[in-house]
Structure 1
Amino acid sequence: MRLGRFNVLGLVGHGGMGVVYACYDDQLDRKVAVKVLHREVVREQENARRRLLREAQAMARLSHPHIVTVHEVGQVDDMVYVAMEFVRGQTLDAWVQQSPPWRQILAAFVQAGRGLEAAHRAGLVHRDFKPQNAMIGEDGQVKVLDFGLARLHDDDLGEALASGIAAGTDTALLLRPLTRTGVILGTPGYMSPEQHLGLRASAESDQFSFCVSLYQSLYGDWPFSTESFQALREDAVQGRVAPPPPGSPVPARVFKALRRGLMADPRARFASMTELLAELERDPGAIYRRVATLAATAVIAGAGGVIATMGSAGVALCPDARAELAGVWDGECAAEVGAAVRAKAPARAEEILAVVEPQLDRYAAAWVQLRNDACRAHAEGRQSARLFDRQTSCLEQRRAALDATVDAFALVEATNLDDLVQTVAGLPSLATCADVAALTAAIPPPEERRLRVRVQQHRETLARAEVHEHTAQTRLGLQLVESVLADATATTYEPLLAEAHLRKGACRCATGPRRRRCGRSTRRWRRRSGRVMRPWRR
């Protein structure tokens, strides 16, 4: 069989709009992928033909290593085809089913994100990004395809029309909406709230779809309810994002970035794909892992010359820990908190901010100082590895509490701002993380490494749940606690199980008229639990 001047080699795949064939271009001696309309399921032939032409126009505007290249568009009788670069590989959806490590999944999606980033710079919106619309080649290169639902940014529409392009011609198909206002266009599971509501899609809509795809690929589940289309739509429109599954090795910083990209309000998402990708690629722990490797190498070598070349021992090796608070509490976060408070309580905003901002600044500065001191003490051999691990664990839990507190400013109702002010003042004490006696007297973490990592992750989750409890977001707090209790393996470590049940009881007591009485009961339980847990310490 032939499609125009191409010899058909075989079927590659098919979707709702068309089928893709592997073909051979004998004139240019190359293998290509040719997409043609899927006639059996397309009712409006003329409309579908225009969609396919528009996809070709969208992709032809782009020349980027992470976007499939369009070679040409042609027509045979009443059949329109698009000849594209042939990618030897598989879709990201199929590749993820092979369970690659989370770091590889993240790296692959960052490549796909670069393709979307380039499309947005060219004034294009994909409008239907999903793992099935990106290919990973045998060389590991990821390319985005299927721009069939793409159209120019609204901002570029007037400029393109003003340049003399006639909206009624095939060359302007990219500018013309092919559905009436209010008609949903896209794949429901990956659609942004604005698409669900029938509003016009934007680059922020692509960002939302990208985050849904990455969440699904990293955690093996959807960020929203899949009980029904209505439930999924409500969760997306309300911005209700499910917490990560218990025991996930994916760092909390990645989930935080995804959660922001999945905000219901497009203005609350990242300003661009560039910012989102930068946040996903940020890995503060990488610096400290390199420090630990260098320190271990020096110890193993046992050579004075190695130590001498390190200058002032660990001091030069330990970078400023303030980088670890990027996205937790920094200038950008302070601006977001200020904007949230001014929007919720304009009359009291300056009064509230004058209290909370200095407190958050002091807490962050103290955290950075303790983190730096711990790194230096460990690198210089003044602190054992066991004590360093416990101090780091304590500080990570405090950072999680700080992170959740800052996030709460965008989530709480205006009536709960006073509770949030008290939560800031009552952030967990950092002094405990510097108290050697307290750290050594605490119940030791599990010996098995993987279990120890999971317990630490769950303790950070419980720290976040406590913040939700104090800010009247008990439903979110209970969801986080239940995710911990659902991990049957991690809760074999009895201290974690006790901590989770305590937090669950506290969250339940934080609602309704029984709040004050439950608070007294919880304090009594804490005092009693101290005596119960002494045998574990021994």
Structure 2
Amino acid sequence: MGDYSDSVLDRRELSEHTQPEDAFCSIKISHRRKRPSRDGLGAVVAGRYVILDVIGRGGMGIVYRARDLKTDRIVALKAPRYERARHGTDFAQRLICEARALARVVDPNVVRVLDLVFEDAQQRRPVVVLEWIDGTPLDHEMEEPSVRGRRGIEIAMQLVQAISAVHRAGLVHRDVKPSNVCVSRERDGHCVRLVDFGLACPAQSQKDAEDLASCVGNARRASVFMGSASYMAPESMLDGRDTPSADYFSFGVLLHELFLGSRPRPVLERLHCALYGDDETDACVRQSGIPLPLARVISETLQWNTNSRLADSREILSLLREASRELPPAHEIGVD
């Protein structure tokens, strides 16, 4: 079975995100007719990526740790579960959309897509090749009290930079939450990366994003209200509007959880409280004892009205820097 000469990802897009030795753009179809094990361990995908182990599994997809035979480095592979791919679900299409969305974003705080290949000759099982991040999801990092101090501010600032980069690429992430933020320890400190672009969509109509918009639109029709309800903005949940401002609302929920130890009331519950004048979210944040600049970021990113919501990355970063100066390195907020 012959190789395909063109990648699903545009060659120009890939070249912007990978080093020359990484720019392996051709799609290769695996010649293996049988999987070596139930989980595919030991299989060689597209003649290049050896599956080492399973690092994540969901109802629709699976994530592997693999070795790139060409560069001898560790990568992550994201693919639909075999039974899902066999029945041609929309998840496979969303994976392709995710790879294309990621290829548009260039930022050290956003996970890099390295390749997009197909494992089967019918091209029903796409495999997205991502950089391997040796880190911890933020929801696990939150278990450490020290993250509520200056370290948490540093994490928040890098996340703002990632969200801003996504928006500059003309996209809305639509699923900003702690489990989609990976924190790795590097020589110069902690590095934060925003991951999982499976629900990303264009922020506005753009001629150069028509294919992506169509692709995501098809997936969206089959995934209305998919996402994490606890982090969704009111406009996303109530009328399906996807704006950059919605990502900052999700960011505000994340900050509330990070520094106050819990998420604010869910959107629908807050709506009920607001109707009866009983939404105390702002008051709780401002009376929590955290630095006022940080309280302002949390309170104003959680505003219902998008016109009143704080969604300017430069202003948010400025306030976070101010808050950082008010916290000693080892300060623990709300911990006795």
TM superposition score normalised by structure 2: 0.73
Query: Does 2:231 correspond to 1:231?
Result: no
1:473-492 superposed matches below 5 A: none
Sort the Cα spacing of 1:35 and 1:194 in 2 relative to 1 into closer, same or farther, 3 A: same
Match of 1:179 among 213, 217, 220: 220
Match runs of 1:302-317 below 5 Å: none
Unaligned runs of 5+ in 2: 1-41
| Residues 264-343 of structure 1 aligned to structure 2 (within 5 Å) | 264-283=304-323
The answer to whether the 8 A contact 1:12-1:20 is kept is yes
For 1:153 and 1:76, locate their aligned partners in 2 and report how far apart those are by CA, in whole Å.
31
How big is each residue's C-alpha offset from its partner over 1:119-142, in whole Å with a ceiling of 9 and x where there is no partner? 101111000110100101122110
Would the alpha carbon gap of residues 16 and 254 (structure 1) be closer, same or farther in structure 2, given more than 3 Å must change?
farther
Answer yes or no: is the 8 Å Cα contact 1:224–1:242 preserved in 2: no
Alignment correspondent of 1:108:
155
Give unmatched runs, 5+ long, in structure 1.
290-449, 455-488, 490-538
Distance in 2 (CA, whole Å) between partners of 1:86 and 1:7 is 14
Letter matched to residue 103 of structure 1: R
Aligned to 1:197: 238
Aligned to 1:99: 145
Return the match for 1:45 from 74, 77, 88.
88
Q: Which residue does 1:135 correspond to in 2?
A: 182
Give the match for residue 147 of structure 1: 197
Structure 2 vs 1, CA of residues 56 and 136 (structure 1 numbering), >3 Å: closer, same or farther? Answer: same
Q: How many angstroms apart in 2 are the aligned matches of 1:17 and 1:235?
A: 36
- The CA deviation string for residues 441-465 of structure 1, in whole angstroms up to 9 with x for no partner, is xxxxxxxxx9xx99xxxxxxxxxxx
C-alpha deviation, 1:219, in angstroms: 1.0
3-state secondary structure, aligned to 1:63: coil
Corresponding residue SS for 1:258:
helix
Cα distance in 2 for partners of 1:190, 1:280 equals 20
Aligned residue pairs, count: 281
What corresponds to 1:217 in structure 2?
A: 258
Q: For the structure 1 residues 230 and 136, does the alpha-carbon distance in structure 2 shift closer, same or farther, using more than 3 Å as the test?
A: same
Q: What corresponds to 1:26 in structure 2?
A: 69
SS of 1:49's equivalent in the other structure is: helix
Distance 1:36 1:135 in 2: 19
Query: How far, CA to CA, are the matches of 1:137 and 1:36 in structure 2?
Result: 23
1:213: how far off? 0.8
How much does 1:43 deviate?
10
Give identity over the alignment, percent.
Answer: 29
The alpha-carbon deviation at position 256 of structure 1 amounts to 1.9
Question: Paired residue for 2:130?
Answer: 84
Measured in 2, the distance between the counterparts of 1:102 and 1:187 equals: 26
Per-residue CA distance 1:237-261 (angstroms, 9 max, x = gap) = 9975264489955213211221110
Please state which structure has a larger fraction of its residues in strand: 2
What is the root-mean-square deviation in Å for CA atoms of aligned residues?
3.4
With over 3 angstroms needed to count, the CA separation of the structure-2 counterparts of 1:191 and 1:240, relative to structure 1, is farther
Give the greater-gyration-radius structure (CA). Answer: 1
1:403-422 to 2 correspondence within 5 Å? Answer: none
- Counterpart-to-counterpart distance in 2, 1:214 and 1:15: 26
Q: Does the 8 Å contact 1:112/1:144 carry over to 2?
A: yes
For CA contacts below 8 A with separation 6 or more, give which structure has more relative contact order: 2
SS at match of 1:197: helix
Q: How much has 1:71 moved relative to structure 2?
A: 0.2
Cα distance, 1:276 vs. partner?
A: 2.1
CA shift for structure 1 position 275 = 2.3
The residue type paired with residue 64 of structure 2 is Y
Distance apart, 1:107 and its partner CA: 1.1
Query: Structure 1 residues 177 and 26 mapped into 2: Cα distance closer, same or farther (>3 Å)?
Result: same
Structure showing the higher helix proportion among its residues: 1
Q: Find out whether 1:56 has 2:102 as its counterpart.
A: no
Letter in 2 for 1:147: F
| 1:281 positional shift | 2.1
Equivalent runs, 1:505-516 vs 2, <5 Å: none
Shift of 1:235: 5.7
Structure 1 residue 57: deviation in Å? 0.6
Asked whether the equivalents of residues 235 and 246 of structure 2 are also in contact (C-alpha less than 8 Å), the reply is yes
State how far apart, in whole Å, the 1-side matches of 2:141 and 2:270 are. 25
Deviations 1:274-309 (A, max 9, x none): 32222222249659x9xxxxxxxxxxxxxxxxxxxx
Would the alpha carbon gap of residues 14 and 99 (structure 1) be closer, same or farther in structure 2, given more than 3 Å must change? farther
Q: C-alpha distance in 2, partners of 1:147/1:284?
A: 29
Structure-2 change in CA distance of 1:180 and 1:196 (3 Å)? same
Q: Does the 8 A contact of 2:282 with 2:299 survive in 1?
A: no
Distance 1:143 1:115 in 2: 7
The residue type paired with residue 201 of structure 1 is D
User: Letter of the aligned partner of 1:149 in structure 2?
Assistant: L
- Provide Cα deviations, 1:158-211, integer angstroms capped at 9, x if missing partner: 4336xxx5x4xxx66555352349932321010000111032211000000011
Deviation per residue, 1:481-504 (Å, 9 max, x gap): xxxxxxxx9xxxxxxxxxxxxxxx
